Amino acid sequence: MIDSAAWNCSGADWQATAPVAWLRFDAENWHGSRVPLQFFSRTSRHEKITLYALDNDGTLRSRSFAESDGRPFAGGPVFRLPLPLVTAETEAVLVRIESPHSIPLLTEAGLVRHVEDAGRSVEEMMLLALVLGMLVLPLLFDVSFYLVLRERFVLFHAAMVVAMMGYVLFAGGVISAVVSLPVVFLAVMAPLSWAVGCGAALLFLSEFLERGALSRTMRRITFWTGCWTIAVPGFFSLQLHATQGVDDAAYFITITPAAVVVSAALVHAILRGSRSAKFVAVAWFPLILTSIERLGRGLGVYAGPASLDMMMFVATGIEVVVISLAIADRFLAIRHERDAALTEARMLEQISTRDSLTGLMNRRAIEARFDELLAQGFDTFTLVDLDRFKAINDLHGHQVGDAALIACANAIRAAGDRDSIAVRLGGEEFVVLLRGERTLERAEAMRQAIPMRIAKDVPGLELPVTASMGVIMVSRTAHQTMQFADFYARADALMYEAKAAGRNRLAYERLTVFSEPPAARRRAANDEEAA
């Protein structure tokens, strides 16, 4: 018999590191309807439990159970075993637990007649079901947000929510109301869910806060502490029999850095003015406090009832509401940032693809889209060049020359429609792509409109500013083998033909089969223009 002085009844300094632990329940008027029939305790790994009923006369009755013999029931994270016969003469019930892996396995044990006497109240079970239901909503939010944002922090938060759901199911005992699972599975899943949830929370925090809220060093510390929390406490949560002497304390010690780093990172971010960090701090502060309380019980600093766990589940419900608001707030901020970035990108793209003087597309823009435009039916290529434009700059200055170019662009734009695209190549050269019916007549009307618009918008010119035009109309079979440079070379040669023929006119060509443009025509036209 164990000496009575060896029993620890102080409520502190419990240990789960010894190969064998003993519990003693002294009789308290055990007779009639008060005779206990069941032993129960928190679900945790062990190898074997032997129950003894000790009578006043020294009679000892025992029953032994393997780990797999435990029967979980819907009253929390607990399992039960039937007692040997307990009578009015029974002095005490002794419990021998071999290879205990958890202090709560020892401190939260008890004897009852009916299992419902050890279960949670209806109110507690309803609260757990409510928290579990609340966790479904942010998970749906995460799926919706990820489809829009494709941000990693959404995935990390989803992992955190799933882990929290697992913790409520297994540590809260809700799962046992639905299905009967082995004790070993329940014993592992509860602490594993908490380790994964804490680790995912750190990964979430490292990615969630605004840019610059965490320094590069703090962000790395937060991220790698999250990885550590999933891996190391996650390993000890498996409660392998080979690690029985250390895994209980090791689990709580190795998970402690998570709370320290989370607190430090949030303070660091708040001091840097992070709005999101304030949301997260409000959401996680209750969880950090309840985790510290659970840490004290887990390390055997003091013993407390299992009902204290309800504080953690309430804190989880608070976290769900506040962190959902934080993600929604961050979502709106990211959308605003992205909209601003897209607006800026569109402005930059417009600057890079638009001629700054006339507002028409530039050569870079048209070459990038040329094949697409050909496929859309823009098969008439018109090259426009103002006649004797150099004389305008020489006589009136470049400011007047720029005004003439703007007026030319406005004339082309005004004469165009949805079936025409105008481009300024540079200098006094413009390209107009046309599609549809009567493209040659439309091009000529556009050419004739140019002198009138320049005369109207740029008064004081001594001579009218006319335009010469080279037009290429090609069949589908021809343009399938032609590039922008090919169109330009042919239209350029035709435009110089028009200049050689007296300027202020149009020269055109219809192509059904592509061939190299006649270079001799351009050389002759160049000679004529120079003369």
**205-209, 279-283, 300-304, 508-512: least confidently modelled range:** 300-304
Q: Are strands 420-426 and 361-362 parallel, antiparallel or unpaired?
A: parallel
Q: Which of 462, 463, 424, 417 is nearest to 443 (CA)?
A: 417
User: Which of the residue ranges 260-264, 333-337, 353-357 has the most confident prediction, judged by mean pLDDT?
Assistant: 260-264
The catalytic residue positions are: 428
User: What three-state secondary structure class fits 432?
Assistant: strand
When pLDDT is averaged across residues 328-344 and rounded to a whole number, the result is: 67
> What backbone phi and psi angles, to 5 degrees, belong to 515?
-145, 160
DSSP 490-525: HHHHHHHHHHHTTSSSEEEEEESS-----HHHHHHH
The dihedral over CA atoms of 315, 316, 317, 322, expressed in degrees to the nearest 10, equals 90
For 169-201, b/e burial (b = at least 16 CB within 10 A) is bbbbbbbbbeeeeebbebbbbbbbbbbbbbbbb
Instruction: Confirm whether pTM is higher than 0.75.
Output: no
Instruction: Please report the domains of the chain, with CATH numbers, ordered by start residue.
Output: 4-118 (2.60.120), 122-345 (1.20.1070), 361-530 (3.30.70.270)
When pLDDT is averaged across residues 287-291 and rounded to a whole number, the result is: 82
Could you tell me the pLDDT band of residue 340, with boundaries at 50, 70 and 90?
Answer: low
Name the residue with tokens 């992070």: 274
Structure tokens belonging to residue 382: 């018109």
Arithmetic mean of pLDDT over the chain: 84
When pLDDT is averaged across residues 219-244 and rounded to a whole number, the result is: 93
* pLDDT value at 411 more than 90: yes
User: Which of the residue ranges 115-124, 201-210, 350-359 has the most confident prediction, judged by mean pLDDT?
Assistant: 201-210
* pLDDT value at 530 more than 80: no
* pLDDT value at 457 more than 80: yes
> What backbone phi and psi angles, to 5 degrees, belong to 241?
-65, -25
Angle between the 309-353 and 152-171 helix axes, to the nearest 10 degrees? Answer: 170
pLDDT score for 526: 54
Please, are residues 443 and 469 in contact by the beta-carbon 8 Å criterion?
yes
Give the whole-angstrom CA distance, residue 141 versus residue 327.
9
Each residue of 85-137: pLDDT tens digit?
988 888 999 999 999 888 888 888 889 888 777 766 777 778 888 888 888 87
* pLDDT value at 68 more than 50: yes
* Count of beta carbons in the 10 Å neighbourhood of residue 464: 12
pLDDT score for 481: 72
pLDDT score for 442: 93
* DSSP state letter for 354: B
Could you tell me the pLDDT band of residue 518, with boundaries at 50, 70 and 90?
Answer: low
